[in-house]
Amino acid sequence: MDNMDIEKIRKDFPILSKKINGNTLIYLDNAATSQKPSAVIDGIKYFYENINANPIRSIHGLAEEATKAYNDARQKVAAFINADPEEVVFVRNATEAINLVSFAFPFKEGDRVSTTYLEHHSNLLPWLRLKEKGINVDIVSISDDYELDMDYYKQLPKNTRLVAVTHASNVTGTINDVKEITRVSHEQGSLVLIDAAQSIPHMPFDVKDIGADFIAFSGHKMLAPFGIGVLYIKKEIAENLKPFLTGGEMIKDVSLSKVIYENIPNLFEAGTQNIEGAYGMGLAIDYLNDIGMENIEKYENELTSYLYEKSKELKNVDIYSGKSKRFNGIFSFNVVGLHSHDTAYLLDKKGIAVRSGFHCAQPLIEDRLKLDGAARASLYFYNTKEEIDTFINELNDIAGKYGRR
């Protein structure tokens, strides 16, 4: 916290001073998408006024600038997660990244893939669809404290080719020990995919330390524009993958009888890419690096502890998150007797933005937690203790007025 001047940081995010229903916005929907600093917003304008051209293909000077901007962005992303630039594939978002792997991975009939009860639909549905091709899909169970069944990973079912798991849950906040899951899965010959959409924006992340083969994340949850995301593919395994989309700029040589594909990352970047988005993501990473991911993680942990401490004041509110050994700034709850949408509506009247419903994790919420939805507050480093105070007070008012056992 010593290294972070929150007042100064908040001035970098113009939207944080917006009024919602007459109150200053308290934005607690960061797990859905983050807000953007001026550096990113202005950078997009700068891109179109100074750099815009179709990179890689054209050879004129402006296109070279665009190519350089695109390559620089890739290098920034690579450095941010300690990868090599050729291991960074730009995609639309984590969902597309995981779908890409589900198509590109050379599965054979009878192979197994595992995912878990904690997943967002993005790391569930691409795998469930593989059942149509005769691939078996295992769903790893969770304890009542929302911890994954680690015994499952110690003895993977025979023919498990890929273990897919989220780093951090967008509902329970659970942070999984993905390094250990990767280690034991590799020992048994399975590759590992990590959905890092809810972790990379909030903590230092080192792909070499974790060791996983595929890592998916979205730019828009870490200050970048919508429509840009990343799939990290470990170099050693890339040559075994099939292309996902085919078309422009992903080939070395084409005739009507034979096509020779490009190497990664270009192999997986068919068609003109979201150059503006990649450029914006580079600027977002610059911004995060200026603050420092260690500082961000430390401050968010403080905020999270504060939120859970303050939540003890709540009456007629059930809380579902924050029970695991490690968890991030996710706070899932319901006012007793009130649907989450109605709670979110009432908070919004006070200018407080939270998510409600299934959070794209319907099997977890409906089958496992036995709920018909939950409201969720989720933090980022520009949130403050004062905002948490207001949130808890307003929530307590709503629960006092409408909450019923």
| The one among 285, 338, 379, 388 contacting another protein by CB under 8 A | 338
Choices 36-44, 65-73, 152-160, 350-358; region in contact with another protein by CB under 8 A: 350-358
- Contact flag: residue 354 with another protein (CB under 8 A): no
Residue 145 or 372: which CB sits closer to another protein? 372
Residues 143-176 as b/e (b if ≥16 CB within 10 A, e otherwise) read: eeebbbeeebbeebeeebbbbbbbbbbbbbbbbb
* 143 φ, ψ (degrees, to nearest 5): -80, 175
Instruction: Please state the closest distance from residue 342 (CB atom) to another protein, in A.
Output: 5
User: Considering only residues 53, 357, 363, 390, which one is a binding residue for another protein as defined by CB under 8 A?
Assistant: 357
By CB under 8 A, the count of residues binding another protein is: 19
Q: Does 370 bind another protein (CB under 8 A)?
A: no
**Is there binding between residue 345 and another protein (CB under 8 A)?**
yes
Q: Interface with another protein by CB under 8 A: which range of 21-29, 143-151, 164-172, 331-339? A: 331-339
Q: What are the backbone dihedrals phi and psi of residue 210, each rounded to the nearest 5 degrees, phi first?
A: -70, -40
User: How remote is the C-alpha of 134 from its chain's centroid?
Assistant: 29
Smaller CB separation from another protein, 321 or 343: 343
Q: What is the closest distance, in whole angstroms, from the C-beta atom of residue 375 to another protein in the complex?
A: 11
The C-alpha atoms of residue 1 and residue 302 are separated, in whole angstroms, by 8
Tokens of 310: 């303050």
400 touches another protein by CB under 8 A? no
Pairing of strands 112-116, 136-140: parallel
Residue 318 within binding range of another protein, rule CB under 8 A: no
- Does the footprint of another protein cover residue 402 (CB under 8 A)? yes
Rounded to a whole number of angstroms, the distance between the first and last alpha carbons of the chain is 39
**Angle 55-61-64 from CA coordinates, rounded to 5°:** 30
Least distance from another protein to the Cβ atom of residue 65, Å: 40
Q: For residue 404, state whether it binds another protein (rule: CB under 8 A).
A: yes
Q: Does 405 bind another protein (CB under 8 A)?
A: no
Element (H, E) at 137: strand 136-140
Residue 25 CB neighbour total at 10 angstroms: 18
Told to check if 372 binds another protein by CB under 8 A, we report yes
Q: How far is the CB of 371 from another protein (least distance, A)?
A: 9
Q: Judged by CB under 8 A, does residue 365 bind another protein?
A: yes
Contact call for residues 130 and 124 (beta carbons, < 8 A): no
Active site positions, annotated: 360
- Closest by alpha carbon to 243, among 221, 225, 265, 224? 265
Binding footprint of another protein on the chain (CB under 8 A): 337-342, 345-346, 356-358, 362, 365-366, 372-373, 401-402, 404
